[in-house]
């Protein structure tokens, strides 16, 4: 019979650390401009999990001589599954009622989430974790998948240690440390610097996973093995830093542990503040954050180890007490539910992952998430963890009569009514048709109205406008050797309006996720074949920054074009918005043939022109967008 050990008592300071970690993640999820490295809070969670789970298994092993796999997994299931099921079911029901168009694409996410394989599912299907313009209300469950996979394997590892390695715990700890270092080195070797684009353009940024080409950045960031460094370092610390042994040591109160803890916490705070987000749009295109994959995660793990070591040591006074304050402990005990609920709440409000919240929106949505968290913690998680389900089932099996039977029947009827909504949601999910959202559909509908001058076969044709009996219609015309009167170069924002621009006589070369520097490549190509006409329009900068050097290089082949119209960008959740617009607005000071269309100010004044991501343009706004361009180039 398994006996619970009294060796490991509750450590409130770790709940305080959990609270700080989940707050960092939530601030980052709300608006990454506020805390660019806030995602590192997840890495701190990994180290805490590795430490605590290993401690629990060590305590059980010392008390009972073995580890009960059944009891461990049962405790984990009671702790983790109820809140997860509530969140997943809540997302399904909400989507079935209010946003049925996403149900088809949500189906795979739900299955992956319920089986704790969401991280590998995202890697496999290629829906990048870092895409800002997607609506993925369960995206955050990747980290829980990593931890749950660890929980499945780790008790088996510790069972082997309990049976054969008790006297070799220092060696076991060294093995865990060595594996952690090896995985950190492996991450640095597999990671590749440089621009990240499609597999055709940047094949080096993809790797093979069971025959499937997957993004290296996604594989390294989301993969269970590469993100196990923190779990392993936490486990290694647990062997050397067991609280019941520290209590019996002669070490008294010492400022040393307070200093170590403060240094570790300050290091974590600085990394959360100074580290960049995982991928970033630059002048060269989308690139990964090199420092993060080549030591950044490991530095976070080491700082987390220092904080945990100080927080649990009896010699720490000031530091441990600070982390153990009632507010942090309250939040830390609910950190799992808070993490689960906050992301769907954010997403159903703003729709798109990259859309930053305002301070007011953040406060309101966090309060809503906290309310849901408390309800779940008080009425679902805690009762289930304390055995309420088994007690209910035992009582239900007992025969009853009279008034008790009437009460039971009423409860069954109420439960049946309460299940109608979840059943409706599940059936809707199972039968939903996969379809594009309105933005993706708009972009897909317009791809036939563009050309790709850098794409090869389409370099000699274009969609132009033809007038027939007073009406403007689109037609595909061979343009080999012909001068293009009005050429527009853009990304997905312009792509969404390609049909409207084409009807106004504009030849549109627009691609999704296009970096600014491709405007230079297109301009050089068109100059080399003598096809530049009267006007060139450039609307880029949604996906990456542009520096003054690149803008000046673009103007070299365009110096003889009578009118070059640059369009400012509206990307409110990105710091590059203001930087790009400032540099674009300075161009007329250097080039007489440059004009500016301030789309940023127009979009700011008329949010109704934009889709809910506040970037791409609705059909009614597309007409205004095209008309303003025509006015700016003197073709109203």
DSSP per residue over 456-504, as a string? Answer: SGGGGEEEEEEEETTEEEEEEEE-TT--EEEEEEE-HHHHTTHHHHHHT
3-state secondary structure 294-318: HHHHHHHHHHHHHHHHHHHCCCCCH
Q: 37: which 2 tokens?
A: 């490295």
- Residue pair 357/31 in contact (Cβ under 8 Å)? The answer is yes
> Sorting pLDDT into bands at 50, 70 and 90, what band is 253?
low
Q: What's the mean pLDDT in 43-47?
A: 98
What are 157-211's pLDDT values in tens digits?
A: 999 998 887 778 889 999 999 999 999 999 999 999 998 888 888 999 999 999 9
Check residue 467 and give its pLDDT: 36
pLDDT at 397 over 90: no
| Runs of H (alpha helix) within 513-555 | 518-528, 548-555
pLDDT tier, 19 (very low <50, low <70, confident <90, very high otherwise): very high
Nearest CA to 66 out of 75, 56, 57 is that of: 57
Q: How confident is the model at residue 6 (pLDDT cuts 50, 70, 90)?
A: low
Q: Under a CB-based contact definition with an 8 Å cutoff, are residues 30 and 345 in contact?
A: no
pLDDT for residue 396 is more than 80:
no
More confident of the two residues 141 and 408: 141
Domain ranges (residues) in the chain:
13-430, 439-632
For residue 178, CA distances in Å to 172, 287, 445, 635 come to 10, 30, 53, 68
The answer on pLDDT for 470 being more than 70 is no
Q: What percent of the chain has pLDDT over 90?
A: 70
Question: Tokens 């679902």 — which residue?
Answer: 380
CA 295 to chain centre: 21
Residue 284 banded pLDDT, cuts 50, 70, 90: confident
The per-residue pLDDT for range 483-520, each reduced to its tens digit, is 999 999 999 999 999 999 999 999 999 998 898 999 99
How large is the average pLDDT for residues 120-143?
84
- pLDDT averaged over every residue in the chain: 89
pLDDT at 439: 87
Single out the residue of 455, 452, 450, 462 nearest to residue 494, CA to CA.
Answer: 450
Biggest CA pair distance of the chain: 97
Whether residue 462 has pLDDT greater than 60: no
| pLDDT of residue 225 exceeding 50 | yes
pLDDT, residue 315, reads 84
Residue 324 pLDDT class (50, 70, 90 cuts): very high
β-pairing verdict for 532-539 and 563-567: parallel
**C-beta of residue 18 within 8 angstroms of C-beta of residue 45:** yes
Please compute, for residue 506, the number of CA atoms within 13 A of its CA located in the half-sphere on the CB side: 31
How many CB atoms sit inside 10 A of residue 595's CB?
17
pLDDT at 546: 94
- The pLDDT tens digits of the residues spanning 329-387 come to 999 999 999 999 999 999 999 887 778 899 999 999 999 999 999 999 999 999 998 88
How sure is the predictor about 224, in pLDDT bands with cuts at 50, 70 and 90? Answer: very high
Residue 459 banded pLDDT, cuts 50, 70, 90:
very low
Mean pLDDT, residues 228-237: 97
Say if residue 533 is exposed, middle or buried (CB neighbours under 10 Å; 0-12, 13-18, 19+): middle
- 3 neighbors 64 (Cβ within 8 angstroms): yes
Say what the pLDDT of residue 246 is.
81
How confident is the model over 80-102, as a mean pLDDT? 93
Q: What is the pTM of this model?
A: 0.88
Per-residue confidence (pLDDT) for residue 465, from 0 to 100: 41
Q: Select 439-632's CATH number: 3.30.70.260, 3.40.50.1110, 3.40.1000.10, 3.40.50.10470.
A: 3.40.50.1110
Contact residues for 119 (Cβ-Cβ < 8 A; gap 6+)? 142, 143, 145, 146, 222, 223, 224
Of 66-75, 230-239, 334-343, where does mean pLDDT reach its minimum? 66-75
Residue 131 is given by DSSP the state: -
């Amino acid at each position: 019979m398994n006996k619970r050990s009294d060796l490991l008592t509750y450590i409130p300071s770790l709940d305080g650390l959990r609270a700080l970690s989940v707050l960092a993640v939530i601030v980052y999820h709300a608006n990454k401009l506020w805390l660019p490295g806030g995602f590192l809070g997840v890495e701190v969670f990994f180290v805490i999990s590795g430490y605590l789970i290993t401690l629990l298994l060590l305590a059980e092993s010392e008390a009972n001589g073995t580890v009960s796999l059944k009891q461990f997994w049962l405790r984990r299931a009671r702790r983790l599954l109820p809140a997860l099921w509530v969140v997943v079911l809540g997302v399904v029901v909400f989507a079935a009622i209010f946003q049925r168009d996403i149900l088809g694409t949500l189906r795979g996410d739900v299955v992956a989430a319920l089986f704790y394989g969401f991280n590998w599912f995202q890697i496999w299907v290629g829906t990048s974790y870092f895409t800002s313009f997607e609506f993925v209300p369960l995206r955050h469950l990747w980290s829980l998948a990593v931890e749950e996979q660890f929980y499945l394997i780790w008790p088996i590892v510790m069972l082997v240690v309990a049976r054969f390695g008790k006297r070799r715990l220092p060696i076991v700890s060294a093995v865990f440390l060595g594996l952690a270092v090896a995985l950190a080195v492996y991450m640095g070797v597999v990671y590749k610097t440089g621009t990240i684009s499609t597999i055709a353009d940047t094949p080096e940024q993809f790797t093979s996973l069971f025959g499937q080409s997957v993004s290296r950045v996604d594989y390294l960031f989301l993969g269970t093995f590469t993100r196990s460094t923190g779990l392993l370092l936490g486990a290694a610390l647990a062997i050397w830093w067991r609280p019941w042994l520290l209590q019996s040591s002669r070490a008294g109160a010492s400022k040393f542990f307070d200093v170590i803890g403060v240094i570790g916490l300050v290091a974590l705070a600085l990394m959360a503040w100074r580290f960049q987000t995982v991928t970033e749009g630059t002048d060269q295109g989308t690139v990964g954050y090199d420092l993060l994959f080549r030591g950044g995660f490991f530095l976070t793990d080491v700082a987390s180890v220092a904080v945990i070591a100080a927080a649990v040591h009896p010699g720490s006074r000031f530091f441990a007490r600070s982390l153990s304050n009632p507010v942090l402990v309250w939040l830390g005990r609910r950190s799992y539910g808070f993490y689960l609920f906050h992301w769907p709440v954010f997403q159903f409000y703003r729709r798109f992952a990259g859309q930053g919240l305002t301070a007011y929106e953040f406060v309101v949505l966090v309060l809503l998430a906290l309310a849901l968290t408390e309800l779940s913690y008080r009425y679902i998680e805690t009762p289930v963890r304390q055995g309420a389900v088994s007690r209910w089932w035992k009582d239900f099996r007992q025969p009853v009569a009279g008034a008790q039977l009437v009460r039971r029947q009423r409860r069954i009827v109420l439960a049946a009514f309460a299940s109608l909504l979840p059943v409706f949601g599940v059936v809707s999910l199972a039968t939903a048709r996969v379809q594009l959202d309105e933005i993706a559909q708009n972009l897909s509908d317009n791809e036939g109205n563009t050309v790709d001058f850098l794409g090869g076969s389409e370099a000699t044709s274009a969609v132009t406008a033809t007038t027939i009996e007073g009406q403007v219609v689109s037609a595909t015309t061979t343009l080999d050797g012909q001068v293009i009167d009005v050429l527009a170069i853009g990304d997905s924002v312009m792509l969404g309006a390609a049909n409207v621009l084409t009807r106004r006589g504009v030849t549109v070369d627009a691609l999704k996720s296009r970096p600014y520097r491709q405007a230079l490549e297109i301009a050089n190509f068109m100059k080399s074949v003598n096809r530049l006409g009267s006007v060139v329009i450039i609307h880029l900068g949604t996906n990456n920054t542009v520096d003054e050097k690149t803008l000046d290089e673009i103007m070299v082949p365009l110096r003889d074009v009578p009118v070059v119209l640059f369009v400012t960008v509206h990307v409110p959740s990105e710091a590059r918005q203001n930087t790009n617009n400032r540099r674009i607005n300075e161009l007329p000071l250097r080039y007489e043939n440059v004009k500016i269309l301030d789309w940023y100010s127009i979009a700011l004044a008329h949010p109704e022109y934009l889709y809910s991501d506040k970037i791409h343009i609705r059909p009614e706004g597309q007409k205004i967008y095209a008309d303003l361009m025509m006015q700016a180039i003197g073709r109203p």
